[in-house]
């Protein structure tokens, strides 16, 4: 039996060897990290080392890293009207129309005050529309809002103009939250360079275990409204005994991602280009979404009219290849992409969209197997459609 090919890294990445080793070692630390005895202090050192490693990945102060159960919890922790430095609550939440569902849901903002900002046909937030909306809110005396914008889209891989958006938001005296779950470890995500006030990370996207993430503040003075209240863990920002092993794995994965960022970026760009060149050569009618924009080096969202995504994903799976029909945000869910809908993509093309995402151990032969499987699928389409190879 041929070995399986895993090309769904944007859904989750395999655990890095460095993370696995750190987790196994941490499992032997029996102390509660809040205890003052030697065992407790040993567990605390593991957490603080990981905090430094995660902070270094995005150029942050370790004191401003709050560990959570994952990206979704971190997003909800960030998206609170009470965000700020002791001022009046934020009256509005503005989000791009292509955000992760945990952001589109508005966190702890009432649905009535959550507003979507449109995107261009290439999948970038419409900065003019964002600026106009911020100006309108200012004229109406609504107060400065909280704005949430992902660093790069999880489906198309399109990198968002975060710094430009930050300047618009800060000119309006608002706060900017950036969901960097997909971008961290793949492209530079320096907190200060992005000018983000808050940044979300998820461990399992960079080779840590599932179930650990972080919300990171740029300024220590920025106040968070705790989502989980109780003890004083995480500087009172997130109650509950910390998941020491998962956090240790997160730190080790962050350190590995940072150390290997340059080499991994160049290699994945070459593999992505090889994949897209092969697909287009085999079926010239193939559409690569966001191809003219800056994208994550590992992500291709591709479609061929007549090739139904759900059928194609199953066919790939039977061929020993794991790909996706979009984001893996709901268990077993296959639904129309809200990202492609926001980009104005025709429904028949959106229904055909397949996401292929690569990682640090993807090989040229695996990419070539994916292209070969695509060709077989295209050849099975009715010839009358005029799109088969």
Give the pLDDT score at 384: 36
Least Cα distance to 356 among 291, 272, 281, 269 occurs for: 272
Q: What are the backbone dihedrals phi and psi of residue 158, each rounded to the nearest 5 degrees, phi first?
A: -65, 130
Return the active site residues. Answer: 329
Reading the chain (389 residues) residue by residue, the pLDDT tens digits are 689 999 999 999 999 999 999 999 999 999 999 999 999 999 999 999 999 999 999 999 999 999 999 999 999 999 999 988 777 889 999 999 999 999 999 999 999 999 999 999 999 999 999 999 999 999 999 888 999 999 999 999 999 999 999 999 999 999 999 999 999 999 999 999 999 999 999 999 999 999 999 999 999 999 999 999 999 999 999 999 999 999 999 999 999 999 999 999 999 999 999 999 999 999 999 999 999 999 999 999 999 999 999 999 999 999 999 999 965 444 455 567 999 999 999 999 999 999 999 999 999 999 999 999 999 999 988 653 444 44
Q: Can you point out the beta strands (E) in the chain?
A: 5-6, 65-68, 93-96, 114-117, 146-150, 175-179, 198-202, 213-217, 287-288, 299-303, 321-322, 354-357
- Among 137, 145, 202, smallest CA distance to 177 is for 145
What is the pLDDT, as a whole number, of residue 326? 64
Choose among 69, 75, 67: nearest CA to 101: 75
* Rounded Cα gap, residues 24 and 246, in angstroms: 10
At 329, list the tokens: 């945000």
User: Got the DSSP string for 215-284?
Assistant: EEESSTT-B---SS-SS-TGGGTS-S---HHHHHHHHHHHHHHHHTHHHHHHHHHHHHHHHHHHHHHH-T
pTM: 0.94
- State the distance between the two ends of the chain, measured CA to CA, in whole angstroms: 28
Tokens (6 digits) for 204: 């399992």
pLDDT of residue 387: 45
pLDDT at 386: 45
159-180 in b/e burial notation, b at 16+ Cβ within 10 A? bbbbeebbebbeebebbbbbbb
Distances (CA, A) of 7 to 55, 57, 312, 371, 377: 28, 24, 14, 12, 17
* List of domains in the chain: 5-14+261-385 (3.90.1150.10), 17-259 (3.40.640.10)
Give the pairing type, strands 213-217 and 354-357. Answer: unpaired
Q: Report pLDDT for 383.
A: 52
Query: What pLDDT was estimated at residue 385?
Result: 47
pLDDT at residue number 2: 80
**Cβ of 85: how many Cβ atoms within 10 Å?**
9
């Amino acid at each position: 039996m041929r070995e399986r090919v895993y090309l769904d890294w944007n859904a989750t990445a395999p655990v890095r060897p460095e993370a696995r080793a750190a987790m196994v070692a941490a499992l032997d630390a029996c102390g509660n990290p809040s205890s003052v005895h030697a065992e407790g202090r040993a567990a605390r050192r593991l957490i603080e080392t990981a905090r430094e490693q995660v902070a270094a990945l995005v150029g942050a102060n370790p004191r401003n890293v709050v560990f959570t159960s994952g990206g979704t919890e971190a997003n909800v922790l960030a998206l609170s009207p009470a965000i700020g430095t002791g001022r009046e609550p934020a009256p509005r939440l503005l989000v791009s129309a292509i955000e992760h569902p945990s952001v589109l849901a508005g966190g702890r903002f009432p649905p009535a005050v959550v507003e979507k900002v449109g995107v261009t046909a290439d999948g970038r937030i419409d900065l003019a529309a964002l600026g106009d909306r911020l100006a309108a809110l200012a004229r109406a005396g609504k107060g400065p809002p909280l704005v949430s914008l992902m660093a790069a889209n999880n489906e198309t891989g399109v990198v968002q103009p975060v710094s430009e958006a930050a300047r618009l938001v800060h000119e309006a005296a608002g706060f900017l939250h950036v969901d960097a779950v997909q971008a961290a470890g793949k492209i530079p995500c320096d907190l200060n360079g992005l000018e983000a006030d808050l940044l979300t990370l998820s461990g399992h996207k960079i080779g840590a275990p599932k179930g650990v993430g972080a919300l990171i503040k740029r300024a220590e003075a920025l106040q968070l409204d705790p989502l989980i209240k109780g003890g004083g863990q995480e500087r009172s920002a997130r109650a509950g005994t910390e998941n020491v092993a998962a956090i240790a794995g997160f730190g080790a994965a962050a350190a590995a991602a940072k150390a290997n960022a340059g080499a991994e970026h160049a290699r994945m760009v070459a593999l992505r280009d090889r994949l897209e060149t092969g697909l287009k050569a085999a079926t010239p009618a193939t559409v690569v979404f966001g191809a003219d924009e800056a994208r994550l080096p590992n992500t291709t969202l591709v479609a061929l009219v007549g090739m139904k995504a759900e059928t194609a994903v199953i066919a790939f799976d039977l061929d020993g290849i794991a790909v996706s029909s979009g984001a893996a945000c709901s268990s077993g869910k296959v639904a129309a992409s809200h990202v492609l809908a926001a980009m104005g993509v025709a429904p028949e093309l959106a229904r055909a969209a397949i996401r292929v995402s690569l990682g640090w151990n993807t090989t040229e032969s695996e990419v070539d197997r994916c292209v070969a499987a695509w060709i077989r699928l295209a050849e099975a389409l009715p010839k009358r459609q005029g799109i088969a190879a």
